[in-house]
């Protein structure tokens, strides 16, 4: 519904009124509230799209190589690449894929959320300054979030939300012949099969990157620990 809400084809209050007495109506209303909330944050803080809502002293990495792999869906992490390819082809991604790809950019690659927000804004059909910024800052840990150090593990997310790998096979055609859940870890395939696939090796080691981030957080604060969602 987000493009229709964004362009004003539907009003949020009309949608809310229709959903109120239906099953799941309350959970749906909560989603609409996020939209309203971010619009209010933007009204109160017009610099929100460019400035950290809460500065947590983050140091971002500058790497055009990693940024470009992320934009083009060539990170070597199938679930991330599927999301980024869907964005490029359809101008849309499910919220879960947005969370996974945004976490990968800001927490695993440690690249500035503004680079990701700009790319999303350029391609999303529901691209909305307030919602896009609010969500990017939430994921990056600079926004209205009480758990700023949350990291989404792409493998766990893939197993949980793309159980059989259907989403990956659909958007990453190089992996279309890999059956079942094995598609989420092409690096584990037998060497012969792996080499036949025209698909990159991971551009960054997720485990090492998470440990590095954990160490940075520990150095920055006495209470450390990186929750791995």
Ligand X SMILES: Cc1cc2nc3c(=O)[nH]c(=O)nc-3n(C[C@H](O)[C@H](O)[C@H](O)COP(=O)(O)OP(=O)(O)OC[C@H]3O[C@@H](n4cnc5c(N)ncnc54)[C@H](O)[C@@H]3O)c2cc1C
Q: Which residue has the tokens 């604060």?
A: 221
CB of 2 to ligand X, least distance (A): 3
CA distance 205 to 199: 16
| Closer to ligand X by Cβ: residue 83 or 165 | 83
| Closer to ligand X by Cβ: residue 3 or 200 | 3
Q: Please enumerate in sequence order all residues whose Cβ is within 8 A of that of 32, keeping only pairs 6 or more positions apart, or say none.
A: 12, 15, 16
| Closer to ligand X by Cβ: residue 142 or 175 | 142
Phi-psi domain of 31 (left: phi exceeds 0; alpha: psi -120 through 50; beta: other): alpha
CB of 211 to ligand X, least distance (A): 24
CB 128 within 8 A of CB 91: no
| Closer to ligand X by Cβ: residue 37 or 214 | 37
In sequence order, the β-bridge partners of residue 146 are none
CB of 162 to ligand X, least distance (A): 16
CB of 115 to ligand X, least distance (A): 12
| Closer to ligand X by Cβ: residue 8 or 227 | 8
Binding site for ligand X (CB under 6 A): 1-2, 5-6, 31-32, 34-35, 38, 94-95, 98-99, 102, 120, 124, 126-128, 131-132, 135-136, 139
CB of 228 to ligand X, least distance (A): 18
Burial class (CB in 10 A: 0-12, 13-18, 19+), 210: middle
Q: What are phi and psi of 151, to 5 degrees?
A: -125, 135
């Amino acid at each position: 519904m987000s493009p229709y809400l964004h362009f004003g084809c539907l009003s949020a209050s009309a949608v809310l009124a229709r959903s109120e007495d239906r099953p799941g109506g309350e959970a749906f209303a909560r989603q609409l509230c996020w939209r309203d909330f971010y619009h209010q944050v933007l009204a109160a803080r017009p610099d929100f799209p460019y400035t950290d809502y809460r500065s947590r002293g983050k140091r971002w990495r500058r790497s055009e190589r990693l940024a470009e792999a992320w934009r083009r869906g060539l990170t070597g992490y199938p679930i991330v690449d599927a999301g980024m390819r869907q964005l490029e082809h359809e101008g849309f991604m499910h919220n879960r894929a947005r969370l996974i790809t945004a976490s990968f950019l800001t927490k695993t690659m440690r690249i500035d959320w503004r680079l990701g927000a700009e790319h999303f804004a350029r391609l999303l059909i529901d691209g909305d300054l307030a919602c896009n910024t609010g969500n990017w800052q939430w994921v990056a840990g600079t926004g209205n979030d009480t758990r700023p150090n949350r990291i989404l593990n792409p493998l766990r997310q893939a197993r949980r939300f793309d159980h059989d790998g259907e989403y990956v096979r659909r958007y990453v055609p190089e992996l279309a012949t890999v059956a079942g859940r094995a598609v989420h870890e092409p690096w584990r395939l037998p060497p012969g099969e792996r080499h036949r696939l025209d698909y990159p090796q991971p551009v960054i080691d997720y485990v090492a990157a998470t440990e590095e981030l954990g160490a940075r957080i520990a150095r920055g604060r006495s209470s450390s620990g990186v929750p791995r969602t």
